[in-house]
Structure 1
Amino acid sequence: MAARSLVLVTGINGYIAAHTAATFLKAGYAVRGTVRNKKTPNVDSLVRTLNQYHDGNRLELVEVPDISVDDAFDRAVQGCVQAIAHLASPVSMTETDPATMMRAAVQGTTSLLTSALAESQREREPGRGALKSVVFMSTISAIFSPFQPAGHVFTETDWNDAAEEEVRRLGKDTPGYVIYQASKTAAERVFWRVSKEKNTRLNLTALCPAPVLGPPLYLPDPISSLSMRVKDIYDMFHGGPIPEFSPIRSTFVDVRDVAELVLKAVEKDKDSQTQGCRERYLLVGESPISPQQMADVLRVEFPQRRDRIREGIPGQTYPDMTWRFDATRAGMLLGRDWIGLRQSVVDSAKVFLGAETV
């Protein structure tokens, strides 16, 4: 795409979305972002940060108070939008009613695609841009299932069927993390189903990242609203407990790699004459890792805080696990080495330390 081509980033004030917007701005794009409410301190912080990456006229915000209502994104997609990065999604580990999150995730995706497809049909009118691609931010939770046999290698062909089944079985007794996994899985399924039913010629990409770490572009207020796994680093850096092991926590990808892959997916479509292309990528920068490794890195790299950062069991690695994750396709699209865990943890902690000294 030429410089100043316009990309829509939904949920732009989110952790991954903010980095994605900055990546597009640095690459010369104009960015339109959706937020629930423009008049909040976090949106102000986001805009001040993103303004460092453009010349003052390449960023605009559009309010979408409720992504789950019909026509929610109609205004956001209008005009000369050439690509959409759909990152807006409900996230809660404490939600007790799965219907709430499931409905918001599925309807938000349906609403976005419906608006995008309608706009793509109008793009033949004089003066309109050509919407060509939509990138959907899914998650490794839509791929990983603990019921796969020992030795299984997870790839883009896998689906997590267990989470949605657990929601159907347990209802309001479903744990929050399972509700999240089920909602993201259901949202990605509808992304593919709606596009197939509409027989769209748009190029569609789903990215399924492992737990995302790395330096926040800005610190949210309250700090408790930090992205979940980044909050793990923040808590350990401030004396909190070392998180428990879990299979998902054995994987990670840096937020800057995720943002760059959104850009790469869009630019891949720009360089291709193919229409109606469908791509799914599993994003894993490093595996296996353990929460203890993050604590070890923090204690070594920030010796002045060794009395605050819990020691745990230094050198402890992830318990023996035979599952593996193959992110070869995403690595090829990235075109360079993944950012490693040590750099990701250190760069995150530097942001937190910097905020303390301001």
Structure 2
Amino acid sequence: MGTPRLVLITGINGYIAAHTAATFLKAGYAVRGTVRARTSNVESLVRALGQYHDGSRLELVEVPNISVDGAFDRAVEGVQAIAHLASPVSMTETDPAPMMRAAVQGTTSLLASALAESKRESRQGALKSVVFMSTISAVFSPSKPAGHAFTEADWNDVAEAEVSRLGKDSPGYVIYQASKTAAERAFWKFGQKVEARFGMTALCPAPVLGPPLYLPDPIANLSMRVKDIYDILHGGPIPEFSPIRSTFIDVRDVAELVLRAVEKDEQTEGGQERYLLVGQSPISPQGMADVLRASFPQWQSTIQEGNPGETYPDMTWRFDAGKARTLLGRDWIGFEQSVVDSAKAFVDAEAV
């Protein structure tokens, strides 16, 4: 066997990134992951990934501040692919400047390092693919008319203007949407300005559900939408309606699409593609409660009943993820399975 191809995954201890690392390891790649520091959660990740390799195909690199120029210079050395999943996330932040700066500069800093690396390597070992993890929040815009079908051609044209208008009074979720939108715009602007020798792909996933590869400590650090399942299972309130919450994608499908995007770039040269990832719509937080009550009868007295069977009123926007479904090459993992598998991870951990 020859030397395995090497992929860099930024923010490898994140929820989606952990599954992405496992997917690449299972596919035979060597994985280099960036972390801010070696924490107990990072060690939990290393143990979880141990089942997918023989101990020689996983490497960690500390990058304390992703927005510093040259932050990724060491991390990109010798890689054939990059999956940029590290991004600041806070729903309680009210000052948009730090989060916007970190999201945008973290992306441009990585791309600058990637471009320099692609010019150094021989053609055989060259960097061929950079995948950027965006979000459906960079696609969906409430300004669109009723009945609009969102596709990869759409952009959030509200969030950035909103944080500019509100400044330090901006809600956390708007800052998040604006930061991710600005970071993806910076990703594509870079691609337009330079002649990159590597393919560039942006994935825009709906809210992500599915079993965590490892449980963070504290559990409050669960990825936001998966934490909805955890909270409902433990008697918490059923979240309120929002248009984006009417969509979902399973984390295992997202991870596999990162791999598929890299494999596609290995076969072609210098392409640029954007994908909207929606596994099922419409779904609802009430649907989470309904699935949990049906699948875990021993928890029925804890899980709030809510309004069984309730769906979103007047949900006329649609989401067309046919392009991503074609790249995946199989059916999406369904909402019910994703909710059950997520909850099972929590129930099994608490039974130990």
> Which position in structure 2 is the counterpart of 1:94?
92
Rounded Cα–Cα distance in structure 1 between residues aligned with 2:345 and 2:312:
27
| 1:338 and 2:337 matched | no
Rounded Cα–Cα distance in structure 2 between residues aligned with 1:303 and 1:3:
50
What are the ranges of 5 or more consecutive residues in structure 1 without an aligned counterpart?
none
Answer yes or no: is the 8 Å Cα contact 2:118–2:197 preserved in 1. Answer: no
> Which position in structure 1 is the counterpart of 2:118?
120
Rounded Cα–Cα distance in structure 1 between residues aligned with 2:54 and 2:343:
29
Instruction: Give per-residue Cα distances to partners, 1:157-204, cap 9 Å, x unaligned.
Output: 000010000011110111100000000000000001112112212100
Q: Which amino acid aligns with 1:242?
A: I
Cα–Cα, structure 1 residues 3 and 286, in superposed 2: closer, same or farther, change >3 Å?
farther
Quote the offset at 1:130 in angstroms: 0.9
Q: Which amino acid aligns with 2:224?
A: M
Match of 1:244 among 231, 240, 264: 240
Instruction: Give per-residue Cα distances to partners, 1:297-317, cap 9 Å, x unaligned.
Output: 000000000000000001111
> Which position in structure 1 is the counterpart of 2:5?
5
> Which position in structure 2 is the counterpart of 1:271?
267
> Which position in structure 2 is the counterpart of 1:37?
37
- RMSD across aligned C-alpha pairs, in angstroms? 1.0
| 1:23 and 2:19 matched | no
Match of 2:275 among 273, 281, 284: 281
Q: Normalising by the residue count of structure 2, what TM-score does the alignment of the two structures yield?
A: 0.98
SS at match of 1:74: coil
SS at match of 1:12: coil
| 1:78 and 2:72 matched | no
Match of 1:322 among 304, 316, 331: 316
Instruction: Give per-residue Cα distances to partners, 1:280-309, cap 9 Å, x unaligned.
Output: 000000000111000000000000000000
Quote the offset at 1:271 in angstroms: 2.2
Answer yes or no: is the 8 Å Cα contact 2:198–2:265 preserved in 1. Answer: no
Q: Which amino acid aligns with 2:26?
A: K
> Which position in structure 1 is the counterpart of 2:293?
299
Give the fraction of aligned pairs with identical amino acids, expressed as a percent. Answer: 79
> Which position in structure 2 is the counterpart of 1:170?
166
Answer yes or no: is the 8 Å Cα contact 1:3–1:29 preserved in 2. Answer: no
Answer yes or no: is the 8 Å Cα contact 2:210–2:339 preserved in 1. Answer: yes
Rounded Cα–Cα distance in structure 2 between residues aligned with 1:199 and 1:92:
34
Q: Normalising by the residue count of structure 1, what TM-score does the alignment of the two structures yield?
A: 0.97
Quote the offset at 1:124 in angstroms: 2.9
Q: Which amino acid aligns with 1:154?
A: F
> Which position in structure 2 is the counterpart of 1:194?
190
> Which position in structure 2 is the counterpart of 1:352?
346
Quote the offset at 1:219 in angstroms: 0.3
| 1:229 and 2:225 matched | yes
Match of 1:133 among 129, 133, 138: 129
SS at match of 1:172: helix
Answer yes or no: is the 8 Å Cα contact 1:106–1:187 preserved in 2. Answer: yes
Rounded Cα–Cα distance in structure 2 between residues aligned with 1:124 and 1:77:
14
The 4+ residue runs of structure 1 with deviation greater than 3 A are none
Answer yes or no: is the 8 Å Cα contact 2:209–2:248 preserved in 1. Answer: yes
Answer yes or no: is the 8 Å Cα contact 1:133–1:269 preserved in 2. Answer: yes
Rounded Cα–Cα distance in structure 1 between residues aligned with 2:31 and 2:312:
40
What are the ranges of 5 or more consecutive residues in structure 2 without an aligned counterpart?
none
| 1:106 and 2:104 matched | yes
SS at match of 2:274: strand
Rounded Cα–Cα distance in structure 2 between residues aligned with 1:124 and 1:46:
33
